[in-house]
Structure 1
Amino acid sequence: MDLNEAMKMLASPTRRTILAWLDNPDQAFKEYSQLYPYKVHGVCASLIQDKIGLSQPATSLCLKALHNAGFLEATKIGKWTYYKKKSNVIEQVLAELQSELGDKDKSLQ
């Protein structure tokens, strides 16, 4: 993944919020219910839309951007799409950013 593109995706507070929710969906969406457990297919886009408070088109664009950038896995079941966070991609971006900015163990002089 291109680090600059990843940083553009992470520049949006809305996108970062969604990624944070999908890190622990059982906690973030505990007041919601859906047909499948969150660990099976992820969180339904309609629940994310309701929680984030955006219109359906705005939510779809946000989720599509995160999916296209590789941050989310999408599973379509019938007319519904479920999203899971791809933590390994985020870890890769963080490692690349850390490498570009310098070793974390080096002290500032």
Structure 2
Amino acid sequence: MDLNEALKMLANPTRRAILAWLANPNEAFKDYTQLYPYEMYGVCASLIQDKVGLSQPATSLCLKALQDANLVESTKVGKWTYYKRNSTVVEQVLATLREVLSE
């Protein structure tokens, strides 16, 4: 992933919050319930929307941007979409940033 693109995604505080919540959904969404365990498919977009406090279209735009950057992965189950953090890509971005700042 291009570091500049990743930093552009991470410049938005809402997208950063979503990525942080998805790192530990059992803790971040402990006051919420959904049909499936978070480990199975991830977190339902409606729960993310509720927690972030934005409209459905605004939340969808944030999630789409994160998905386009490959920072999250989505799974469609029926009419619902679930999101998981792509930890491999997040770790690659962090490693690249560490490397660039250490030069």
TM superposition score normalised by structure 1: 0.92
1:15-39 residue CA offsets vs partner (Å, 9 max, x unmatched): 0100111011011111111110000
Give the equivalent residue in structure 2 for 1:47.
47
Match of 2:80 in 1: 80
Match of 1:32 in 2: 32
Question: 1:24 and 1:97 mapped to 2: Cα distance?
Answer: 22
Question: Is 1:5 matched with 2:43?
Answer: no
**Which of the pair is proportionally richer in helix?**
2
**What are the ranges of 5 or more consecutive residues in structure 2 without an aligned counterpart?**
none
1-structure distance, mates of 2:31, 2:96: 36
Consecutive aligned runs of 4 or more in structure 1 exceeding 6 Å deviation:
none
Structure 1: give runs of 5+ residues left out of the alignment: 104-109
The size of the alignment, in residue pairs, is 103
TM-score using structure 2 length: 0.97
Cα deviation code 1:2-24 (max 9, x no counterpart): 10000000001100100111011
Aligned-residue CA RMSD in angstroms?
0.8
For 1:95 and 1:34, locate their aligned partners in 2 and report how far apart those are by CA, in whole Å.
Answer: 33
Aligned residue number for residue 15 of structure 1: 15
1:46-80 residue CA offsets vs partner (Å, 9 max, x unmatched): 00000100000000000000011010010001111
Q: Which has the larger radius of gyration?
A: 1
CA distance in 1, matches of 2:32, 2:95: 34
Aligned twin of 1:60: 60
